[in-house]
Structure 1
Amino acid sequence: MKMVNRALLFIYTLVLMIASFLILILPLDLNILPIEEVVGFIRFLRGNYILSILAGLLLILTFLHLILQLRPTDRVKEGSYLVLRNDYGEVFIYENTIIGLTNRVAENFIGIHNIKVKVSFVEGRVKLSLRGEADHEINIPETSMELQKKLKDHIENTTGAQVSHIKVEIVNTISNNRNR
């Protein structure tokens, strides 16, 4: 939580504590706060616009704080991950790591372009789903199998995680002038 939000929360909590305390003791008639002084304070508030402005600012800050707490966080979504255990501890392999490795192989691959990657982890293994466009003159099954093999080898050698399944979907064919 940011420092400004903490300060606002502190001020708001302090005001609520004081108000709650006053509401708690007024009905008990303990003479800690005589009713005449409370009425006098309320009469003092009547023409005091500075206190009204301060109360309005506190109300606006409260709404801002509430909105800041309810909106989605600015942090990058970490996503799911795979935990690999070894003799020294644990290694976490995040979804974005696998996507980056896949994109690296796909950038240098000839025949399939504009590849979109989805990653899931099933039973401690990596499962990939790729969607892309193929050059119209290639053999799609052979080229897809070559891409699958390169991806499997690269991910397993780089991360140590086992790749269980790589699904390749060719959604379109493109001509040579659009190649990378």
Structure 2
Amino acid sequence: MTRNRVRSFINEYGTEGVYISFSGGKDSTVLMDIVRREDRRIPAVFVDTWMEYPGIRQFVRRQENVTVLKPVMSLKEIVTRYGWCFPSKDVAQTIWYARQGKQWAIKKLNGLDSEGKKSPYRQQYIKWLPLYESDILISPFCCDKQKEEPVALYEKQTGRHPILALMAEESARRKEAYLRTGCNSFESRRPMSRP
């Protein structure tokens, strides 16, 4: 099934229109092998944030046809300007927008759904209210500045679309994205394959 999804995505955009999002981890390494069995010319892209283990960085350098991108801002600049991405991107994003006065985020932190009713799915956020009320800078922008912005620039410059090794069960956000678009999203603002 994975090979079929990859083949379908390559057929849609061509070899020159796709790339492998490569972290050097087990999932993206397996994906790279599957994709390159379809076409060895498809490049991989690795974002070197300098937070990866040295062994991962060495492994990535030994692979063929890998483009290495650098973050647009250092981690120190991000933390100073925007704050820490803590305890997770989802919670950090909720805290950030609640501090901006966004009602959806305030309701979420109080365990309420969009209509203001108690939500069993949002009770887990209540424990983060003290963090929201603190002076600690919290934001979801670490990943944006470190990884997503360099990748967006690469995609704009090359016209390529990503093939990613995202596992839907690894987070609620990934599962939600998968349920919305499936493995291959051709019609979205940012077409991608998550086989």
Q: Into which bin does the TM-score normalised by the smaller protein fall?
A: under 0.3
Larger Rg: 1
The structure whose residues are more often strand, as a share, is 1
Question: TM-score when scaled to structure 2?
Answer: 0.19
Question: TM-score when scaled to structure 1?
Answer: 0.20
Relative contact order, higher structure (CA 8 A, sep 6+): 2
